[in-house]
């Protein structure tokens, strides 16, 4: 393809004139990997097609929501009939109640949920609620965990535990992040020290239990256990950000995975998004009744939204949640994902390329290392140039993975065995280039 016939390039140039960087969310710009972002025209099942009508096997699934694949008939039908009934009312609907009931049935740690429109909004509101409910200001987050772009959460670690974090974005005043403590993921010693120093002032500890925003890093069982114990001991709320992993790593989310490993385990609050909207703008947060009843209009914690619980989005989310509860869905999804990761591992091994991989349910990660990293700093030691060779090699062969080494991958119910085999074979060719 010459530059003059590349419609992705033409669209990117046009987009850059009217949208900062040509994109409405930074990672889409291919800045880390170089090259021209693909402008997507349409999608079906496990595939999407770009402006040049090039087909790709899609392993980002809109960063997780498209767990059924694109254009699932039951979801399309639900959305089409919802649209005919009206787009938005600014008044309550039965469908919101149904969706809330469905979520609570699937995730028993919550008694009530509130629906919002994005993961950012859900995480931001959850923190306000944690602060309102505890009457405390401080919060703990972990380096490499992403909880959306609310001001208080755009923070990286400061120079020491007694100091507070530094904003990772311009436009976030130091005063706004002064209550945010940023710790290393999976570091129990640091966690314990932080609770000794700040425990009585902590409103909450927010964590991605399986972190998908530093590729794929699990919280170790001892670490998660300690998070739970310390939150309980000091009266801070343990907030699970399950925006990415909820309904993705298992029907019951990452909390159901940890509940199998730690008897009686439950978070105090859960933040959800992505899969619950099935590709529409929808997210939620929930907790036990006593905490949720602190929310307006019952309580003193204010939170609102013109499009919250949108009738079309809730129809899409409900239809998605009903499909994923069909018998065998997660067994099949996990098996497919493991076929992919095992195949990738074998292909890398065959070429002597350092590689390791992990997955849970329909989410996976891989690293160009021999052992799985435990924290963000280790993830970020990945050789950028080698990752970019892998990314572009796959892209050229019609396989679309996340255009950044710190993002996870997603398999959907629509991926076929043939898609998985073709993806492994494409990766085998690229590993050959990396072995030289
Ligand atoms: C995607 C994501 C968010 C933010 O959700 P948006 O809908 O993009 O605002 C928050 N937390 C986690 C763990 C995420 O993966």
Which H/E stretch holds residue 164? none
Among 244, 245, 246, 270, say which to mutate for ligand 1: greatest number of ligand atoms within 8 Å of CB.
244
Which residue's CA is the closest to the ligand 1 atom numbered 5? 119
Task: Find the residues whose C-beta lies inside 6 A of ligand 1.
Answer: 118-120, 123, 146-148, 208, 212-213, 241, 243-244, 273, 283
* pLDDT attached to residue 1: 74
* pLDDT tens digit sequence for 44-96: 999 999 999 999 999 999 999 999 999 999 999 999 999 999 999 999 999 99
* Domain 73-324: which CATH number of 3.40.50.720, 1.20.1290.10, 1.20.1560.10, 3.40.640.10: 3.40.640.10
- Tell me, what's the pLDDT at 33? 93
Nearest ligand 1 atom to alpha carbon 212: 15
Say whether pLDDT at 157 is over 90. Answer: no
Catalytically annotated residue among 56, 58, 141, 241 = 241
Q: Chain-wide mean pLDDT for the chain?
A: 96
Domain ranges across the chain: 7-71+327-434, 73-324
What gap in Å lies between CA 302 and CA 282, rounded to an integer?
19
Residue 162: pLDDT above 80?
no
- Choice from 27, 145, 146, 219 to test ligand 1 binding pocket (greatest atom count within 8 A of CB): 146
Beta strands in 67-193 (DSSP E): 112-116, 138-142, 155-156, 166-167, 180-183
146 is catalytic: yes
79-93 burial code (b ≥16 CB/10 A, e <16): beebeeeeeeeeeeb
**Distance in Å, CA 361 to ligand 1 centroid:** 19
- CATH classification for the domain delimited by 7-71+327-434, as one of 3.90.1150.10, 3.40.50.2000, 3.40.50.620, 3.40.50.300: 3.90.1150.10
CA 244–ligand 1 middle distance (angstroms): 7
Q: What is the pTM of this model?
A: 0.97
Confidence of residue 436 (pLDDT cuts 50, 70, 90): confident
pLDDT at 161 over 80: no
382-415 pLDDT, tens digit per residue, is 999 999 999 999 999 999 999 999 999 999 999 9
3-state secondary structure of 405: coil
How far is the centre of ligand 1, averaged over its atoms, from the C-alpha of 353 (Å)? 32
Q: Give tens-digit pLDDT for 110-142.
A: 999 999 999 999 999 999 999 999 999 999 999
pLDDT the model gives residue 163: 65
**Closest-CA residue to 211 (of 179, 243, 164, 238):** 243
Whether the per-residue pLDDT at 159 is higher than 80: the answer is: no
Residue 196 has pLDDT above 90, yes or no: yes
């Amino acid at each position: 393809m010459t530059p003059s016939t590349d419609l992705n390039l033409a669209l990117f140039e046009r987009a850059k004139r009217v949208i900062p960087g040509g994109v409405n969310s930074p990672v889409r710009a291919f800045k880390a990997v170089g090259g021209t972002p693909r402008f997507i025209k349409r999608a079906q099942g496990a595939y999407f097609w770009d402006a040049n009508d090039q087909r790709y096997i899609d392993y980002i699934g809109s960063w997780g929501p498209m767990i059924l694949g694109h254009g699932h008939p039951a979801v399309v039908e639900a959305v089409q009939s919802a649209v005919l009934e009206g787009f938005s009312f600014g008044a309550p609907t039965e469908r919101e109640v149904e969706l809330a009931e469905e979520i609570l049935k699937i995730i028993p740690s919550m008694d009530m949920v509130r629906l919002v429109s994005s993961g950012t909004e859900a995480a931001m509101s959850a923190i306000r609620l944690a602060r309102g409910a505890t009457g405390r200001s401080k919060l703990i987050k972990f380096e490499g965990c992403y909880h959306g772009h609310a001001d208080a959460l755009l923070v990286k670690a400061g120079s020491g535990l007694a100091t507070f974090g530094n904003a990772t974005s311009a436009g976030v005043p130091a005063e706004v992040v002064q209550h945010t403590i940023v710790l290393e993921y999976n570091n129990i010693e640091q966690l314990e020290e932080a609770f000794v120093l700040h425990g009585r002032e902590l409103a909450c500890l927010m964590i991605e239990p399986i972190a998908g925003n530093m590729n794929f890093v699990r919280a170790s069982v001892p670490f998660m256990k300690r998070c739970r114990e310390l939150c309980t001991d000091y009266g801070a709320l343990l907030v699970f950000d399950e925006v990415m992993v909820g309904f993705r790593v298992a029907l019951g989310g990452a909390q159901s995975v940890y509940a199998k490993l730690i008897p009686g385990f439950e978070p105090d609050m859960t933040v959800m998004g992505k899969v619950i909207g099935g590709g529409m703008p929808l997210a939620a947060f929930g907790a036990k009744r006593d905490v949720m009843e602190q929310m307006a209009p019952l309580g003193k914690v204010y939170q609102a939204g013109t499009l919250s619980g949108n009738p079309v989005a809730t129809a899409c989310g409900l239809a998605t949640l009903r499909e994923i509860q069909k018998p065998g869905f997660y067994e099949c999804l996990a098996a497919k994902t493991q076929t992919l990761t095992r195949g990738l591992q074998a292909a890398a091994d065959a070429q002597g390329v350092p590689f390791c991989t992990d997955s849970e349910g329909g989410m996976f990660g891989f690293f160009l290392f021999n052992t799985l990293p435990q924290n963000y700093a280790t993830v970020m030691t990945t050789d950028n140039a080698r990752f970019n060779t892998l990314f572009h090699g796959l892209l050229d062969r019609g396989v679309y993975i996340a255009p950044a080494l710190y993002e996870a991958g997603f398999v959907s119910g629509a991926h076929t065995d043939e898609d998985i085999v073709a993806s492994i074979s494409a990766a085998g060719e690229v590993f050959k280039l990396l072995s030289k």
